[in-house]
Structure formats: C-alpha cells, structure tokens
Amino acid sequence: MKNVVAIIRPAKLEDVKKALEAADFNSMTISEVKGRGQQKGLIQQWRGQEYRVDIIPKVKVEVVVPDEHVDKVVDIIVKSARTGNIGDGKIFVTPVEKAIRIRTGEVDGKAL
C-alpha cells in the first residue's frame, strides 16, 4: 500500500475530488495547510505597494491505495490539479506498512 499526498491549490480541490470519485477512489483525507515552494512565496501589489506573501494557503489531499493503483491516482491528481502555472503543487508517494479499520478490525487491503 502507498500513501499518495498531494499539495494543491485550494481552487482545484473540487476538480481533484470529483476526478478521484469518478475513478472510484472515494476515501481521502483533506486538510487546509500553508507553505511555500522554491519561489519562496509571491510578490503582490496592493494600492501601489509591493509586498511579499511567503506562506501560501494550500490543500493537502491524502489517498491510501494498493500499490497497483498508485500511478492511476497520481495521473488523476496531476490532470485535475494542473493549471500550468507556478504553485500548482507537489505529489509525494510513501509506503504504508499497515492499515486497520477501527470499526471491524480489518487490516491492510480490506481496511481500505
């Protein structure tokens, strides 16, 4: 099993969520997060003054899937979250050693 973690623009959350649901990946965890990438934030203007916003609001979407579905989930997220602009986000894939459904005690693949 793998944990697919995507850090995306908040405006793309509904697109990503709908695309994952359409492919029958319904279980996900969504968190509001803040951070910055290599560009170290954004330079914006307000009333003629420039200022730097160095911590940007993002959304973290986590999906735990069997190994054979990782590439499909990553592809869905990339296609539905991409705008082509700096700040579209990142995806990280990490191993999951064990999953347990608390209600039933099912483990690993059955717990997903």
Question: Once rounded to an integer, what is the mean pLDDT over residues 37-42?
Answer: 71
- Sign of the alpha-carbon dihedral angle for 69, 73, 76, 78: negative
Question: Once rounded to an integer, what is the mean pLDDT over residues 2-9?
Answer: 97
| pLDDT score recorded for residue 63 | 97
Q: State percent of the chain over pLDDT 90.
A: 73
- Sign of the alpha-carbon dihedral angle for 112, 24, 31, 66: positive
| pLDDT score recorded for residue 41 | 67
Structural domain spans, the chain: 2-111
pTM of the model: 0.85
Between 86 and 65, the more confident residue is 65
Taking domain 2-111, whether its CATH number is 3.30.70.120 is answered by yes
Between 26 and 40, the more confident residue is 26
Work out the pLDDT band at 32, boundaries 50, 70, 90.
very high
d(CA 40, CA 28): 28
